[in-house]
Chains A and B, each alone.
Chain A
Amino acid sequence: MIVNNSYKFILGDIPQVIELPVELKWDFYGRDESIDLYEEEVVNEIIGNGYDFEVLRFTHKEYGQEQTKIQYDFFFYSGNTNDVNTSTPLNWVCSYLPEGFDATEVYYYRPAFTKSFFKLDFYDSPNGTTQTNYFTVILPVQQGSTETASISTALPSVQIKKPSMSLDFVGDSEGFYLYWLRTHNFWTLTHFI
Chain B
Amino acid sequence: MTAKFFDARLGVFVKLMNTSQGSLPDKFNFVPEDKFYYKVELDRQTKTYEIFDVVTNQRVGNGTPIKWYEYINP
Instruction: List chain A positions with a Cβ less than 8 A from chain B.
Output: 56-64, 67, 70-77, 81, 84-85, 87-92, 99-101, 105, 111-123, 126-128, 163-164, 178, 180, 182, 184, 190-193
- Contact partner of A61 (CB less than 8 A), chosen from B27, B48, B67, is B48
Q: Which residue of A lies closest to B61 (CB)?
A: A70
**CB contact under 8 A between A164 and B2, given known A60-B49, A127-B33, A192-B39:** no
**Cβ A100 vs Cβ B46 within 8 A:** no
In the complex, the answer to whether B68 meets A73 with C-beta atoms within 8 Å is: yes
- Indicate if the CB atoms of B41 and A73 lie closer than 8 Å: no
Are the C-beta atoms of A101 and B9 separated by less than 8 Å?
Answer: yes
CA of A79 to CA of B23, assembled, Å:
14
B44–A56 CB distance below 8 A:
yes
A142 to chain B, nearest CB (A): 13
Residues in B whose Cβ lies below 8 Å from that of A99: 5, 7, 14, 70
Say yes or no: B1 contacts A121, CB within 8 Å. Answer: yes
What residues of chain A lie closer than 8 Å to B41, measured between beta carbons?
190-191
What class of interface size applies to chain B in its complex with A?
A: 35 or more
Q: Which residues of A contact B65 (CB under 8 A)?
A: 71-73, 164
One of A85, A113, A163, A180 near B27 (C-beta < 8 A) = A85
Interface residues of B (CB under 8 A from A): 1-10, 13-14, 16, 20-23, 27-28, 32-33, 36-44, 46-51, 54, 59, 61-70, 72, 74
Q: Tell whether, in the assembled complex, residue B40 and residue A122 are in contact, meaning their CB atoms are under 8 Å apart.
A: yes
Q: Contact check: which of A63, A89, A184 meets B62 at CB < 8 Å?
A: A63
In the assembled complex, the Cα of A180 lies from the Cα of B40 at a distance in Å of 12
Chain A positions within 8 Å of B63 at CB level: 63-64, 67
Cβ contact within 8 Å between A178 and B21: no
Complex CA distance for A100 and B10, rounded to whole angstroms: 9
A123 CA to B13 CA in the complex, in Å?
Answer: 18
A101 to B65, CA, bound (A): 23
Interface centre among B4, B22, B54, B64 (most CB of A within 10 A): B22
Query: A89-B22, A92-B20 are contacts. A115–B66 as well, Cβ < 8 Å?
Result: no
A-B contact pairs, 10 of them (CB 8 A): A61-B49, A64-B62, A71-B61, A72-B66, A77-B69, A91-B20, A121-B4, A122-B1, A128-B32, A180-B42
